[in-house]
Chain A
Amino acid sequence: MSERLLLESFREDAERLTRLPAFELIEAAGRARRRRRHTIGGVVAACLLATTGVVVTTTGDTPDPRPAEDPAPRSLATPWPGPTMTTMKEGTYEFRPSIAPGSPPVLVTLPPGWNAWEGPNRFEGLDRSVTDDADVNEGVIEEHPRWYAGLLVLDVQWVAQRGCSFADTADDDAAALAQTLVRLPGFGVDTGPTSATVDGLPALHLRLRGLGTLPRCTGGVVLHSSHGPIGGGEADTLYDVWVIDTGVSPVLVWAEWSRSTPQRDVDDLLAMVDSVEIGD
């Protein structure tokens, strides 16, 4: 019997023998997951209200910034702290790639041992234990580590182009942004753009390679995001790039690692990419 017939026969029997679990349990677990997310939103909203409250108080109104009813301990995600240069706890973090209204948050699950920069990163010599002393990790990176891996979640405003110019991509859709990335100076395209799906949303995937030939006139900047300029393009650096069509502005997931990065850390990095969820 051919492998096709064997597989079809297996499929038929296996489907017949698979038992359906109680849908109610799955529904309840989904509800619990959603509640935890809403709690996160509540915490963020409370922080924003608290900040606004200071301003309002000075003008004489009475703010009422109520704390969230069910604070952080049960939360799945913690707001990403930004470039604190401290080693983060394992867990799910919420990124805000764009400050534009309606832009969705992005959730990423970190394994242990990743440092907080614009996104999570790791480099040779970094300890996996959680730190709150930025000097420790600053000291490690100043030792010129031989390998580096990092993940960024961005909205892209400008992209470096040949001829010492930057293309304005602020209003680009996912397809246009992917095409602009293909023309990045100092980068080679290994594969893509390929149609893909990230968290159920349409996306484009590219594999890029740094050539170490980014023109000096760009000042080492590859692209500008809402959070500032992003460098890259060093020789022997690989990039796994996803442009996700969120229906608002595209979100760029930019994972990079040097060739000498240990496999375990590359795997952790790609697992973070796989964990990406686009929030509501």
Chain B
Amino acid sequence: MDEDSISFGRVSDRHDGPTLRDVFDASYRRLVVQLYGVTGSFEEAEDLVQEAFVRAAGKRGRFSAVDNPEAWLRTTAINAHRSRWRKARNGRRARELVPPPREPDGLEQHVEIMTALRTLPEAQRTVIALHYLADLPVEEIAAALGVPTGTVKSRLSRGRDALAVRLDHSQEGVDHV
């Protein structure tokens, strides 16, 4: 067996669990959409998820012992995003000059919900995306973000309210046209 080949079992033809390829096939799209919700940018989401898979491939044996590979990949991608976001916040003036991200082809009908999501504060948007797009319960969101469950609950509640208001305004705007 090639020393560098990726295997979650001890031998490539004796599978004790899913291979990284299996996880990739099953989870890649889901993770990209979840990170799209978190970041508001499809391109950044793809970049973050691919980087998480590269890290997993680099870990080989360690990753095979992970109980929930998708959760590991999600947390890795979110942490990478958080670091980028902090840097971006420091360069806010520069960022203001950058045009807002464009929706990928085929998602034009979802512009309204994505636009509303992007207007939420980062912390609320992350919790909303993890709850609605990743179907995570409050406890798992708290564990993924390293914050108390009460914080997740309040961000979820405020985020939901804010989202509803923005969607209402957006509907009103459409109705009046």
Contact = CB atoms under 8 A, between A and B. Distances in A.
Contacts, number: 150
Query: Mostly helix, strand, loop or mixed at chain A's interface?
Result: helix
Interface stretch (A2-10, A208-216, A223-231): A2-10
B114 A33 contact: no
B146 A26 contact: no
Contacts of A122: none
A67 B118 CA distance: 52
Given A18-B33, A200-B72, A3 B163 contact: yes
Interface residues of A, number: 47
Q: Which 6 A-B pairs have the closest CB atoms?
A: A30-B57, A33-B58, A196-B146, A267-B86, A200-B72, A271-B83
Given A14-B36, A29-B57, A200-B62, A20 B110 contact: no
A30 B58 contact: yes
B4 A34 contact: yes
Nearest to A20: B28
Contacts of A11: 33, 132-133
Interface of B: 4, 6, 20-21, 24-25, 28-30, 32-33, 36-37, 42, 46, 50, 53-63, 66, 71-72, 75-76, 79-80, 82-83, 86-87, 89-90, 104-107, 109-110, 112-114, 116, 128, 132-133, 139, 142-148, 151, 160, 163-164, 167
Contacts of B20: 27
A274 B54 contact: no
B135 to A, nearest CB: 9
B29 A15 contact: yes
A219 interface: no
A195 B4 CA distance: 34
Nearest to A194: B148
B57 A200 contact: no
Given A15-B30, A18-B32, A194-B148, A271 B86 contact: yes
- Which of A27, A197, A203 neighbours the largest number of chain B CB atoms within 10 Å of its CB? A197
A31 B4 contact: yes
Nearest to A203: B146
Nearest to A278: B62
B156 to A, nearest CB: 12
B142 to A, nearest CB: 7
Contacts of A263: 90
- Which of A9, A23, A30, A199 neighbours the largest number of chain B CB atoms within 10 Å of its CB? A30
A29 B51 CA distance: 9
A263 B61 CA distance: 38
Query: Mostly helix, strand, loop or mixed at chain B's interface?
Result: helix
Given A200-B66, A200-B72, A267-B87, A30 B28 contact: no
B110 A197 contact: no
A7 B90 contact: no
B83 A275 contact: yes
Contacts of B106: 13, 17
Interface of A: 3-4, 6-11, 13-15, 17-18, 20-21, 23, 26-27, 29-31, 33-35, 37, 191-192, 194-197, 199-200, 203, 205, 242, 263-264, 267-268, 270-271, 274-275, 277-278, 280
19 contacts: A3-B163, A7-B37, A7-B113, A10-B113, A10-B114, A18-B32, A20-B28, A30-B53, A31-B57, A33-B54, A35-B4, A191-B148, A192-B148, A196-B146, A200-B66, A200-B72, A264-B90, A271-B82, A278-B62
Given A15-B29, A18-B29, A26 B113 contact: no
Contacts of B112: 6
Contact of A26 (B37, B50, B63, B144): B50
Contact of A14 (B4, B33, B56, B89): B33
Contact of B110 (A4, A13, A27, A270): A13
Nearest to A109: B83
Given A27-B20, A264-B90, A194 B56 contact: no
Nearest to A264: B90
A194 B147 contact: yes
